[in-house]
Homo-oligomer: A and B are copies of this chain.
Amino acid sequence: MGVSAAGSSGGSPDVLVVGGGLVGLAVAWRAAARGLRVGVVDPAPGGGAARVAAGMLAAVTEVKYGEEALLALNLESQRRYPGFVAELVEAAGEDVGYRECGTLAVALDADDRAELREVYAHQRRLGLPVSWLTGREARRLEPMLAASVRGALLAEGDHQVDGRRLCAALLTACGRLGVDVVRGSARRLLRAGGSPGGRAGGAAGGRVVGVRLDDGTELTAGQVVLAAGSHSALLEGVPEEVLPPVRPVKGQVLRLRMPSGAGAPGAFLGRTVRAVVRGVHLYLVPRLNGELVVGATEEEMGYDTTVTAGGVYELLRDAHELVPGITELPLVETSAGLRPGSPDNAPVLGPSGLDGLALATGHGRNGVLLTPVTADCLAEYLVSGRLPEVAAPFTARRFRRSGAPSAAGAAPAGPALREVVA
């Protein structure tokens, strides 16, 4: 049960990332590229929600009223994607399925059309690059669309990437930079000065110094980044007022196989197609390798990742309504993942309010999209102690009631805003 070191070169690393999913690996890679010694701990590195996700980079088509700050963050991450991917492909020597294909959001009936026109007006007011198509024009772009399509939004800047290949490439790139990836489950946060088995938080707990794993192993580090996705709220020893308010939101996803890759002449679908069917978001994301990802349910079921008859049924029913021709396609995989949902659908980034603990979680539906900006901002924060302005609205501090006791027992006002570059 002694204190052991993460970092194969001996001694504690500068940073230990708890969570080796897409966000955790990207943070680790960017931090290592900035010269920090980095460890990652995860029971199944490269797993997590991104393995299930469709990988839509849909800043424009997913815009919602009143979420302008999140839109800015999403757009910034989307803007960084080509560079992020180019660097990663160079670093890992592996392709990641990034595809600049655009997205078509369609309306299936008159009510849908009226709602989509409102979204379109909102997007135009925000200056977003969208155009309106009639049903006929939409079918000209995508001949497999149902005859019932009444109109569509074309967002030519909403692209896609393959989350699985992204995770695989990040694992390779991390390995090449000497990041030490430990297979294990972090159970409890360790703090200096606090009794290891004592109650969480309070004046007894000092600076965060590492984590204890399920098997009792202790990993120490200069700073800890909590990037455990939907599992982020399960780490013990985190004071309640610091614990990220993140819950699992289950998504079931199908993978079909198209007759040929999405870029081929006469391809089944040329771009991402999405709609709201019976009030539920549905999307079909065609990959160049012929995979067609159909997603996704949104269910509040705790930590359940069961693929159910009902989930698969609804996805197939709604996808069939949107693109009737899918019935002929092989169904090659069904899966379910857990999005890390936050109270305001936005991520939780940067200082936690606890000295030595940073957060990179709560990305909800936008984890793949937000990976570059998250990784860049966290790396900057870990190196300089300052969180870039674009991420400033997204610290955990926004969830704290004013006048509530500070999260960190020792620091009177919490470091959250102090550490943000205003």
- A: which residues have CB within 8 A of B? 254, 256, 306-313, 316-317, 319-320, 326-332, 334
Contact = CB atoms under 8 A, between A and B. Distances in A.
Given A331-B334, A334-B331, A309 B313 contact: no
A258 B307 CA distance: 13
B316 A329 contact: no
Nearest to A257: B306
Nearest to A320: B313
B310 A312 contact: no
A328 B308 contact: yes
A310 B334 contact: no
Residue in A309, A319, A331 with the greatest tally of chain B CB atoms within 10 Å: A309
A307 B334 contact: no
B307 A330 contact: yes
Give the oligomeric copy count.
2
B329 A309 contact: yes
Contact of A331 (B307, B319, B320, B326): B307
14 contacts: A307-B330, A307-B332, A308-B330, A309-B320, A309-B330, A310-B320, A310-B327, A312-B331, A313-B316, A313-B317, A313-B327, A316-B316, A317-B317, A331-B334
A421 B212 CA distance: 79
Contact of A308 (B306, B312, B327): B327
Given A309-B319, A310-B320, 9 more contacts: A309-B328, A309-B330, A310-B326, A311-B331, A313-B313, A313-B316, A313-B320, A317-B317, A331-B334
A325 to B, nearest CB: 9
A308 B331 contact: yes
A159 B306 CA distance: 30
